[in-house]
Structure 1
Amino acid sequence: MKNNKSDLLYLQEMDIQSWELLHASRLTGYLTETFDLPDSCRLLLVSPEKPEGDIVFMFEKVLRSMGLDLSKTMHIFPEQVVSLGSHQLSWIWFSGCEKSGILDINTLLSPLLKEIEGNNLERRNLWQQICSYEK
């Protein structure tokens, strides 16, 4: 879609405020724009669900066990990993999605955060992954 005034007006008439191309790699010649993370971001949560409500408290508890707090984390959706530019990450956590993209970073894999809450087996699996990076 060309980005001109008539196209934008058409989108506004349909009450579409923003849109995102999910499979840009399928288009010939399309270049994905990258985004950089702030230097303060140490853990990136990649998940189809952004932590909200009570799940944030559980997420904070895990972060504290890693010596981090919410101010040093960010969330992105799995399809955004390919657009990730420069970063100073120490950790990347794939929650409820497959691992992709970034190498040479401490990597955690888990079900969705809401599936870890109250599930001792999943909490233990997550803790074992975190401990495996301690030296």
Structure 2
Amino acid sequence: MSTRELTYLHEMGIQAYELTHPERLQGYRAEGIRLPDDCKMLLVSPQKPVGVTATLFVNILKTINLTLNQTRYLAPEHLVLLSATKVDWIWFAGSEAQMDLGLKTLQSPSLSEIDGNQQLKRALWQQIQALK
């Protein structure tokens, strides 16, 4: 369910649940997540960038010559639902790399931890430069 749908349910006082192991339900097939063709980077993180972290994310994207429109966010638990994709970059921020997709892969602490920490920013910059 999208964040928008979850917000609507919350505003109506309806609690939403997410199955931890949907594959255990007989006959259930989870719908795959398909990224648009113009998506060049996938951010996999427990927290979606908002406010200050969104600004930091946009600034980091500029160093890779990407725009916000060329990226998508995905929570780590939804990565297993990802259909075949043609993204160039995948960035695990604050979550462990769950699979090797054969892409340019970045691994870092969460954006909120990176913000204001020069050592973590430098480590991320070095990863980006090594993959360019």
Q: Counterpart of 1:49 in 2: which secondary structure?
A: coil
What RMSD in Å do the two structures reach over aligned CA positions?
2.0
* 1:45-99 deviation line (CA, Å, top 9, x unaligned): 0000000001111111100000101000010100000000032200000011110
Aligned counterpart for 2:61 among listed residues 38, 60, 63? 63
Q: CA offset at residue 21 of structure 1? A: 1.5
- 8 Å contact kept, 1:45–1:73: yes
Q: Counterpart of 1:132 in 2: which secondary structure?
A: helix
Q: Which structure has the larger Rg over C-alpha atoms?
A: 1
- 8 Å contact kept, 1:46–1:78: yes
Partner of 1:6: none
- 8 Å contact kept, 1:82–1:101: no
* Residues in 2 aligned to 1:18 and 1:129: alpha-carbon distance in whole angstroms: 38
Partner of 2:96: 98
- Per the normalisation by structure 1, the TM-score is 0.81
> Which runs of structure 2 are paired with 1:1-135 in the superposition (5 Å)?
15-16=13-14, 18-27=16-25, 30-134=28-132
* 1:3-60 deviation line (CA, Å, top 9, x unaligned): xxxxxxxx9xx94364322332455654332111000110000000000001111111
Give 5+ residue unaligned stretches, structure 2. 1-8
* Residues in 2 aligned to 1:25 and 1:91: alpha-carbon distance in whole angstroms: 28
Identity %: 45
Q: How many residues are treated as equivalent by the alignment?
A: 122
* Residues in 2 aligned to 1:72 and 1:20: alpha-carbon distance in whole angstroms: 28
